[in-house]
Amino acid sequence: MVVANWKMNGTLVEARALASAVREKLRRARGVEVVLCPPFTALAAVAEVLAGSSIGLGAQNCHWEASGAYTGEVSPAMLAELGCRLVILGHSERRQHLGEGDALINRKLHAAVAHGLTPLLCVGETAEERRQGLTFHVVEGQLRGGLAGASRDGIVRCMLAYEPVWAIGTGVNATPAQGAEVHGSLRGILSELASKEVAQAVRILYGGSVKPENVAPLLEEPEIDGALVGGASLQADTFIEIVRKSAPRAGSAAKE
């Protein structure tokens, strides 16, 4: 699976153009599921562009209530109504800049599941935490906190993304070995929280400076099930190249 996180980028005109270009140039992506996550303001417009295609629609965040006096927020019910099938939760930028902690993210995760959305729960350590040898401690805490109280059936409906904070927007990605090591650790925790079968069923994506040059080696690792793409998803040609190189036997299974 390849998920495009457009972050806070794109007017309606720009969002329609980008989504249209991706749809036109990626008419079929055999072996790869693709989801676009534009800003809230562009969700309806992008949904129209993607209608009838195999490309899915996702959101970058949601509130934990279906409705209420929460000025400026968007509920999971609203996202589901627009046709979203996935919602990114716990992204490091929201943890860092908006003060979101595990307890808050956990409430959002339960709300997303209740409204039929697939939560894409993000975990990852900072450069300083990695330097101190705290990587596995940090991601385990974020995973357990985000999934707290989730049933086996709830966990199997989630996806994870390992996004080392030090790799986001820096141009420096984790090596395939580093990614696989953390992904394997996360899968081990899922086995403990649910079962080995659930742990194998839950897809764990890698994110953090994903680009055409590094995506294939990353996804050759059996533990890495796909990519969460940030800045590189804002250029249609670059994103399409990432999708094609993410397909089994890179370059042969995804085509126009």
Residues of the chain with confidence (pLDDT) below 70: 28-29, 249-256
The domain segmentation of the chain, as residue ranges, is: 2-236+243-248+251-255
The dihedrals phi and psi of 16, each to the nearest 5 degrees, come to: -60, -45
Residues 172-207 pLDDT 10s: 889 999 999 999 999 999 999 999 999 999 999 999
**Three-state DSSP state, 102:** helix
CATH placement of domain 2-236+243-248+251-255: 3.20.20.70
Going by C-alpha positions, the residue among 47, 58, 43 that lies closest to residue 23 is: 47
Q: How many CA atoms lie within 13 A of 228 on its CB side?
A: 33
How many C-beta atoms surround the C-beta of residue 21 within 10 A? 16
The amino acid sitting at 140 is E
pTM of this prediction?
A: 0.95
In sequence order, which ranges of the chain are alpha helices (DSSP H)?
Answer: 12-25, 43-50, 76-82, 92-97, 102-114, 127-131, 135-147, 152-156, 176-193, 196-201, 212-219, 236-246
Which pLDDT does position 256 carry in this prediction? Answer: 37
Number of residues assigned to the chain: 256
Residues 147-169 pLDDT 10s: 999 999 999 999 999 999 998 88
Let me know: does 202 contact 188? Beta carbons within 8 Å: no
C-alpha dist (Å) from residue 23 to 15, 43, 49, 253: 12, 15, 8, 17
Let me know: does 226 contact 203? Beta carbons within 8 Å: yes
Which pLDDT does position 253 carry in this prediction? Answer: 40
Q: Where in the sequence numbering do the catalytic residues fall?
A: 91, 163
